[in-house]
Structure 1
């Protein structure tokens, strides 16, 4: 596959079956040419006439009974899925486009194609970086308010402690007087 210049895109392309255009599921390798596909995609592409099977990419004759499970690619897919869940620059699951926008109504990142779809048509959408800055500012403000609230609470508790200690001293003095 051709390199796009974006490592995340290149990584995702390498993890994608050229038949279903989705991440590999149960990947297999065609022995004759070395190309990889999802087992189900390949079976569907060949149909019932497996004796005429060929690689969908290079058209090399293929022996369906000699497909090799690609465990290395299967493990790679597990890592890819983990990375896509934790990656900073994610891709839209639906369109495989970078999530560069943020829909304020749905409170979720979206791609440029999603932005044109009717489900987000009338929504307030901003660039993801702008939304991140807004979130940081809001978080900072909330943090400062929380700290101020804790300071007030701490001051209140100090005053209560002082008042209760004075009351306790007075009770102790009263007890001492009664004892005498």
Structure 2
């Protein structure tokens, strides 16, 4: 196994094993392992659970000491522009700690590890499988998820097509009803116009008949008045005659 280069060793030393990034305010537990202060504090937040080291799994005192030397190493790594170790080990395909290929996958920590890491205390009790098997499981899950998404898409597309057809059918029915209503109103208007003409014609004829009967009646009354006027005048003149003349026929 080849020795680690100084840069890789420095990069590994500056990396927190919990967040896999540069140490932020690094602290040391009584077991000797180092973590970000915020990372170890969060790992102990669960009530009723004994404090353990996230790396070696040993029980520890709920206390830690600031590691100023490690903080200086982190600053140097940042100044050199080195990436955090575990972020780089995946992209490079080898374990920074042991310089071995990342052939295994730890299900608990969800990271790729080498065979040596798999036998270490850190991962000994974890579910470890070959990378190919983990990748295949991931692919199977993705395929299952993809099938579900495709089926959901088909259902949505089918629903969309159905809604579009339903909308088109409804619009078509509404247009037919509109045309039917317009035709009925036009027919009704035509019928009313015909009825208006017929009734107006009847009223005009009735008006003429009333006027004719009125004129005939007035003419008859005028004739009667004229006859009565003549008779009244004649009788008036006769009343003025002397008795001898009044009794003559």
TM norm structure 2: 0.38
Larger radius of gyration: 2
Q: Which protein is richer in helix relative to its size?
A: 2
TM norm structure 1: 0.50
Structure with higher RCO (Cα < 8 A, 6+ apart): 2
